[in-house]
Chain A
């Protein structure tokens, strides 16, 4: 990719004010080497349908066809437009586009692909707008000697005009093709510089609106009384009339997933759900437990190759079910009346949601409007639209708008999970040479039915691996072989249906990487090599070695630590990016057993150093935040967070049952290093950091305790809470809040 100014073609669209778009960039479609190449190529043909609009007040509007769920893409997108248009970032208004089926595969937020796929098309659209504005100003002033800065075009002799005043004059009554050049990297003044989130002020003042904060007329609170086991179905309700007469309750109706109630307040929904007496039919994983699923996985595992004649190290690892619950639970507003439906929800696959909801309701797709709201976290959860489907079904049944929300207990017990998996790794070696790497990953089936499968199918003819099932495609294309380990063989086997699964941040990679890195430590040990040096010598490419070297140097690899405290180091590459993590963990009894009320203390990661090279970092501040969050996820995945399956249901029903990292687990010292890069292309970042962080914590734990951990999280064998009842399905709201005021 040349760093000089490349020419691109864009369009001015017929409109009363200036509206500009990129042209479909087929010229860019290069070799499809990884998952992101596939997604980027799938998005390209419709990139001309995404437009930058200049408003008469001097602001710039852009409806981003992606979901903002905390990852910072509204900010980075505003920065891209601000750069090309020479307007202040705060004058760029980035909103989230409604579901637009004509965008085909260009409205799916996943695989950390947003910036990779949109980096060029958005800038081209903005560059077209800039060129048209300058042309309009040239007519206005009768001069070509013009300067555009801060949203104002000025002449050498001091005449000035704002872009808002030119919005109509620069418009075109017909669509025009416009060749443009993009700002060269060396001339960037916005891209690559730290920028605070564009919505930060709204967030800290309580003005930021999530789906449940919207005031949609008539959309009263609604909740669903859910079955005691996963995906059980509702039978008869013994006390329907009694619950309908409860204070505030307006409607009670059976839907496909349970018994839905609508009331004046969510508090009254909770009371009504708890009062319902429903006879339940069996669920889809009735009687299953952690143990029985583990047996299914063992039966489904693909064999490793023939036993090597050279020495080798093998490891077998178990990764328990984990929840991808965000803090904002599953929720949606739906108004389905008079043959039309309108939906509001944080959705990463809004086109598939729109099509599925239309089919469920028996409406034409064009009669369903889907608004994408800002999401309170995703971690994979918002790729699906479970609450939007329920809200639509309920609203249609009662003929009234509903604001439907899952209780936290529902979100944890019936919500989507990262499936349980095992990973078997074998590394063969001789002397100081590694001869082969084999990995057999066996997982409960991951549901990818949110549009990614359709995307793969559409691209299949262009992929070199033919028509393998798309889970296998996803697995192969999301994994690279970072180490020079001779022959590689890596296979995924999936088994079992019936669980509500989905991708969780970084999908398969945290587990596969942790398994690999733990065995890499073992091989280094057998060879008598230092684990850092060994990795460094085996890594392919200077970019990879540089991140590893950076954490080793900045984190003080090898420094003297007390017994029971140790370091771990790990590497991961994905999304056209490379990352490395070095942590120190304190496993001494006084730390592990420190008192924590209703929580898990356990080993403490006391120091984490993380280095990342994503190529061009559009917003280093946002990238840093993502990596910090990834480190917190990695700590939780290794040490504390899992779901326990018993008798067909998950025991966890609260944030004090599911132990995501809390302040008492947070490393007091945390350093993120963003590597300088001369690349002019960005990589993906939203999920990147989880794998190296999880693996580094696991390696450190192994070294501190003198064991090799094989089951994750390490505390899964100890149930650290008293499970809540399953009937009623949600706990009562406490009344003692004032007793806790300090």
Chain B
């Protein structure tokens, strides 16, 4: 089987797996990184949202062959380290607003939220209701209102 080399949460990894296996399964089933969740497998629910080179992406829709040795994948497990602490400010905001219910979608929600704040900041503006309406991550517990509060708080801090 072909080998694929890339970086995950600050460490270089090499996996021996079929080229078209989607990265979500390489993370979960091969590497045992289970923070990114399965919710649909077709890039709709966004529960697997992680970061590739600092931008949000959905590993359920990326064959492992698309990754290059220099590519840096950050999952929820590696998010705090990107901010140099025990918790990323977005994770802290999530705790402050007691956002979580069952928690299944929340790793994806947080990774999407970090990316939204990054994009809005790059445009030099504040978060709007339209930005928050545009988040596609589904939460079947219906934590949407607290997600909105937490993102606004983290963006403002």
Contacts and interface: CB of A to CB of B under 8 A. Distances in A.
A72 B57 CA distance: 30
A408 B42 contact: yes
B55 A742 contact: yes
A266 B20 CA distance: 12
B116 to A, nearest CB: 10
B126 to A, nearest CB: 15
B105 to A, nearest CB: 5
Interface in A404-448: 405, 407-408
Contacts of B125: none
Contacts of B4: none
Nearest to A664: B133
A374 B77 CA distance: 19
Interface of A: 69-72, 196-197, 199-210, 212-213, 215, 221, 247-248, 264-268, 270, 325-329, 374-377, 379, 405, 407-408, 598, 621, 625, 628-633, 654-656, 660-664, 666-668, 670, 730-731, 733-738, 740-742
A71 B142 CA distance: 12
18 contacts: A70-B104, A199-B103, A200-B98, A204-B91, A205-B76, A205-B87, A209-B34, A266-B28, A375-B102, A376-B105, A377-B102, A408-B41, A625-B146, A629-B101, A664-B134, A670-B145, A735-B61, A737-B57
B17 interface: yes
Contact of A408 (B1, B45, B129, B148): B45
A326 B9 CA distance: 29
Contacts of B58: 737, 740
Interface string B21-55: 11111101110101111111111110100001001
Q: Find the residue from B26, B40, B77, B148 having the highest chain A CB count within 10 A.
A: B40
A200 B57 contact: no
B103 A655 contact: no
Contacts of B145: 628, 666-667, 670
Contacts of B52: 738, 741
B138 A205 contact: no
B77 A655 contact: no
Interface of B: 1, 17-18, 20-26, 28-30, 32, 34-45, 47, 52, 55-63, 66, 75-77, 80, 87, 91, 94-95, 98-107, 110, 115, 119, 129, 132-148
Contacts of B47: 327
Nearest to A269: B25
Nearest to B62: A737
A740 B135 contact: no
A663 B135 contact: yes
| Top 6 A-B pairs, shortest CB-CB distance | A206-B35, A70-B102, A632-B142, A376-B104, A737-B61, A203-B103
Contacts of B91: 204-205
Contacts of B56: 741-742
Contacts of B61: 733-737, 740
A635 B20 CA distance: 40
Q: Find the residue from B29, B39, B44 having the highest chain A CB count within 10 A.
A: B29
A249 B148 CA distance: 42
Contact of B100 (A199, A213, A379): A199
A327 B105 contact: yes
Contact of B140 (A325, A666, A737): A325
Contact of A206 (B34, B60, B140): B34
Contacts of A205: 35, 76-77, 80, 87, 91
Contact of A731 (B42, B99, B146): B42
A327 B139 contact: yes
A208 B38 contact: no
Contacts of A248: 18, 21
Nearest to B95: A200
Nearest to A670: B145
B12 to A, nearest CB: 20
B40 A206 contact: no
B79 to A, nearest CB: 8
A203 B106 contact: yes
Given A267-B22, A735-B63, A737-B62, A197 B98 contact: yes
Given A206-B107, A737-B58, A266 B29 contact: yes
B100 A200 contact: yes
A80 to B, nearest CB: 19
A625 B62 contact: no
Given A200-B98, A267-B29, 6 more contacts: A70-B104, A327-B139, A377-B102, A408-B39, A734-B43, A738-B52
Q: Find the residue from B29, B43, B141 having the highest chain A CB count within 10 A.
A: B141
A656 B137 CA distance: 11
A267 B25 CA distance: 6
A408 B43 CA distance: 12
B2 to A, nearest CB: 11
Contacts of B135: 663
A660 B138 contact: yes
Nearest to B33: A206
A733 B38 contact: no
Contacts of B75: 206
B101 A625 contact: yes
B94 A70 contact: no
A533 B34 CA distance: 53
Contacts of A668: 129
A689 B38 CA distance: 28
A375 B103 CA distance: 9
A265 B144 contact: no
Nearest to B107: A206
B86 to A, nearest CB: 9
